[in-house]
Structure 1
Amino acid sequence: MQIAWNEFTPITSLAGGILIGLAAVMLMAGLGRIAGITGIVAGLFSPVRGDWAWRALFTLGMVAAPLIYRQFSTLPEITLDTDWLTLLIAGLLVGIGTRLGSGCTSGHGVCGLARMSPRSIVATVAFMSSGFLTVYVIRHLF
């Protein structure tokens, strides 16, 4: 294994993690809500009275953040080493897993683990194991 030291970004990675944690804590402290992105965005499509505005603002912030960041620095280059069909299938599988697990990595992996939720611990172990297994199978068996 080799580390690409010129691409190693501990300061920006730490800052990003702190911002994600801060946003999750502010949402929990301010509204008593979990910062599970899947649930937040899904709530935009089945709005409950008085519940739509904060969801829209949170989602807008996620979209606006990289656009604002781009004004001050260059965004990392994105390279896809696969075709669109594989991306489509992967996206569908992630979506199905999110529904089956009643949440996503932000809800279970960030907020749920911080709250020591047994359900979130099981969900996080399940999706991390699935990810590890998928990478192993795709990279080493195919």
Structure 2
Amino acid sequence: METEFTPWMSLAGGVLIGLAATMLMALNGRIAGMTGILTGIIPPLSNDWAWRIAFLAGAVIAPVMFLSAGGVISYAVPVSLPLLALGGLLVGMGVYFGAGCTSGHGVCGMARLSPRSIAATVTFMIATGITVFVIRHVVGG
């Protein structure tokens, strides 16, 4: 399976993520870690649930608007549903034990020069590299 290189779309997405994270920090004093935001709307609700729902709604509505404007989001899921579910479970465990997700650590934590976030992001990247190597060269995917 080959991945299409999309530098302009990737740059635009990164800028929008950075802008959203910066605005959330500047306006609410909060870190834009998606997992932390999501847990605040799962009962019992946080006192600040309204901005959390608005932020998550924006993350869902933005791609819908992009598609409505004629944009195309190409993707492929080259694994079975059970493997996809297992991957989701493993990511959830990583978020729990890593005390945050890639958006919280990688985008917001590294921007604040948090040593914990830098260590977590380095760990994410090493684990990703090892996983890709094993899948492509050992397992043969």
- The residue correspondences of 1:1-142 to structure 2 (distance < 5 A) are 7-45=4-42, 46-49=44-47, 51-142=48-139
Residues 1:11 and 1:77: Cα distance change in structure 2 (over 3 Å): closer
- The CA deviation string for residues 87-106 of structure 1, in whole angstroms up to 9 with x for no partner, is 11111000000000010010
Instruction: Give the Cα separation in 1 of the matches to 2:79 and 2:50.
Output: 37
The amino acid across from 1:56 in the alignment is: I
- The CA deviation string for residues 53-80 of structure 1, in whole angstroms up to 9 with x for no partner, is 0000000000101111111123222211
Say if 2:25 and 2:31, in contact at 8 Å, map to a contact too: yes
Secondary structure of the corresponding residue to residue 44 of structure 1: coil
Please state how far the C-alpha of 1:138 moved relative to its aligned partner: 1.8
Q: Number of aligned pairs?
A: 137
Q: Percent identity?
A: 54
- The CA deviation string for residues 15-63 of structure 1, in whole angstroms up to 9 with x for no partner, is 11111101000000000000000000111113122x0000000000001
Instruction: Give the Cα separation in 2 of the matches to 1:12 and 1:73.
Output: 14
Secondary structure of the corresponding residue to residue 40 of structure 2: helix
Unaligned runs of 5+ in 1: none
Instruction: Give the Cα separation in 2 of the matches to 1:97 and 1:70.
Output: 31
Please state how far the C-alpha of 1:136 moved relative to its aligned partner: 1.2
- The CA deviation string for residues 97-142 of structure 1, in whole angstroms up to 9 with x for no partner, is 0000010010000000100000000100111111111111122112
The amino acid across from 1:52 in the alignment is: W
What value does the CA root-mean-square deviation take over the aligned residues? 1.5
TM-score, normalised with respect to structure 1: 0.90
